[in-house]
Structure 1
Amino acid sequence: MILWTSAEVEQALDVFGLPAFQASGVSIDSRTLQKGDIFIALTGQTDGHAYVQAASDKGAVAAIVSKANPACKLPQVLVPDTQKALEQLGQFARKRAVHLAAIAVTGSSGKTSTKEMLATTLKAHKSVASYNNHFGVPLTLARTPADAQYGIYEVGMNHAGEIAPLSKQIQPYVAVITNVGTAHLGNLGSLENILSEKLSIEDGLVKGGYLVVPHDLITAGVREDITVKRFGGVKGDARVTEVLPQGDGWKVWAHVEGHDVVFDVHHPGVHQVTNALAALLAASLAGADVAESAMRLSRAEAVVGRGNVHHLPGGVTLIDDSYNANPHSMRAALETLIRRPANRRIAVLGDMLELGEHSIAYHRALADACMGVDTVITVGTHSKALQDALPDSQKGGHFNKQEDVRLSLQGGDTLLVKGSNGIGLSKLVARLTQLQNGTHKHAV
Structure 2
Amino acid sequence: MSLWTSAEIAVATGGKASADFVVDGVTFDSREVGPGDLFIALKGETTDGHKFLDQSSERGAAGAVVSVSTPHPHVLVADTMAALNDLGRASRARSAAKIIGVTGSVGKTGTKEALYAALDRVEPGRAHRSLKSYNNHTGVPLSLARMPRATRFGVFEMGMNHAGELAQLTRLVRPHIAIVTAIAPAHSEFFPDESAIADAKGEIFQGLEPGGTAIVPFDSPHRDRLIAAARPYAAEIVTFGLGEGADVHAVDTMRTERGTFVNARLGDEELSYTVSQFGAHWVSNSLALLAAVRAAGGDLAMAGLALAELGGIAGRGARFMAQVGDGEALVIDESYNANPASMAATLAVFADETATRKIAVLGDMYELGEGSRAFHEGLAGPVKASGAQMVILVGEAMGALANALEGEVDFVHVPDAQTARDRLKAMLAPGDAVLIKGSNGVGLATVVAGLAGGKT
TM-score, scaled to structure 2: 0.92
**Which residue of 1 is the match for residue 10 of structure 2?**
10
Matches within 5 A, 1:33-432: 33-44=33-44, 45-69=46-70, 73-97=71-95, 99-123=96-120, 124-216=127-219, 217-218=223-224, 219-226=227-234, 227-232=236-241, 233-313=243-323, 314-371=327-384, 372-405=387-420, 406-407=423-424, 408-432=427-451
Deviations 1:336-371 (A, max 9, x none): 111222232221100000001111111011111111
SS at match of 2:209: coil
- The whole-number CA distance in structure 1 between the counterparts of 2:268 and 2:115 is 19
**Which residue of 1 is the match for residue 124 of structure 2?**
none
Shift of 1:392: 2.1
Shift of 1:378: 0.5
- The whole-number CA distance in structure 2 between the counterparts of 1:286 and 1:257 is 16
Q: Comparing 175-184 with 27-36, which one deviates more in the overlay?
A: 27-36
Deviations 1:314-338 (A, max 9, x none): 2421111111000000000110111
Q: Comparing 167-176 with 270-279, which one deviates more in the overlay?
A: 270-279
SS at match of 1:301: coil
SS at match of 1:31: helix
- The whole-number CA distance in structure 1 between the counterparts of 2:276 and 2:37 is 34
The amino acid of 1:81's aligned partner reads D
- The whole-number CA distance in structure 1 between the counterparts of 2:434 and 2:449 is 14
Distance 1:80 1:431, change over 3 A: same
Deviations 1:258-279 (A, max 9, x none): 3222222222333111111111
- The whole-number CA distance in structure 1 between the counterparts of 2:369 and 2:17 is 51
How many correspondences in the alignment? 433
Shift of 1:191: 0.6
The amino acid of 1:55's aligned partner reads S
Shift of 1:16: 4.1
Shift of 1:221: 4.5
Is there any run of 5+ residues in structure 2 with no aligned partner, and where?
A: 121-126
SS at match of 1:153: strand
TM-score, scaled to structure 1: 0.94
- The whole-number CA distance in structure 1 between the counterparts of 2:401 and 2:450 is 25
The amino acid of 2:11's aligned partner reads Q
Is there any run of 5+ residues in structure 1 with no aligned partner, and where?
A: none
- The whole-number CA distance in structure 1 between the counterparts of 2:139 and 2:388 is 38
Deviations 1:154-176 (A, max 9, x none): 00111121101000000000001
- The whole-number CA distance in structure 1 between the counterparts of 2:231 and 2:382 is 38
Question: Over the residues paired in the alignment, what is the CA RMSD in angstroms?
Answer: 1.5
- Contact residue 269 and residue 307 of structure 1 kept, 8 A: no
- Contact residue 377 and residue 387 of structure 1 kept, 8 A: no
Shift of 1:248: 4.9
